[in-house]
Amino acid sequence: MKNEILKYLSKYTKITHELESAIVNSTFIEHFKKGTILLKEGDVCIECYFILKGCIRSYIVENGEEKTIEFYTEEYAVTPSNYGTSSPSNYYLECIENVIVSVGNPKLEKETFQKYPELESLSRVIGEVIMAKNQDSFAKFKTSNPEERYLDLLKNRSDLIQRVPQHQIASYLGIKPESLSRIRKRILTKK
């Protein structure tokens, strides 16, 4: 599994033997079962995750109703907004499949970055790429209607349709499950 991390990082830079060794030696792999809650609302977050296999969902609970914020799958980094701070989390992280992740924490990151500054630079570049994608995704979400959001999901993340319960897909799109059913039916009749 550590090779998956190296493959991902090599998309952004040439991985030297020294850097490869540093990455392999500072990588901690963990397995979590479907249904595991990695972070609860109110918890202080002391870990971040890089998904090697599986799917994690982030959500909030508002007026007793779960509202899905994001789905993280293979090659996604999950860094909660309160990571490395003493602030309590506003949301939950739940494994909706069995998950294999590389786990990071602020202390390990600091030690690794001090020893290998090129890894800190690489992390910054990847962070900027992720932030730009998130901004584009947010803008697209805000300016589209539910059917357009669903079509975008089919186009760009079609694997989620088979991996995630439909009520969570509906929540992610900002609609009720009944509305998702109507959208799917409308799309099928257009074909």
Q: How far is CA 34 from the centre of its chain?
A: 15
Parallel, antiparallel or unpaired: strands 65-72 and 77-78: unpaired
Q: Shortest CA distance to 116 belongs to which of 15, 7, 46, 5? A: 15
- Give residue-wise pLDDT tens across range 141-177: 899 999 999 999 999 999 999 999 999 999 999 999 9
How much of the chain exceeds pLDDT 90, in percent? 57
- Helix (DSSP H) and strand (DSSP E) numbers for the chain: 8, 8
Residues 14 and 20 sit within 8 Å (Cβ to Cβ): no
To the nearest 10°, report the CA torsion of 5, 22, 80, 136.
-50
Tell me the three state secondary structure of residue 74: coil
For the chain, give every domain's residue range.
2-141, 144-191
CATH assignment, 2-141: 2.60.120.10
- Give residue-wise pLDDT tens across range 21-41: 877 777 789 999 999 999 999
Return the pLDDT at 160. 95
- Give residue-wise pLDDT tens across range 68-97: 999 999 989 998 888 988 899 999 999 999
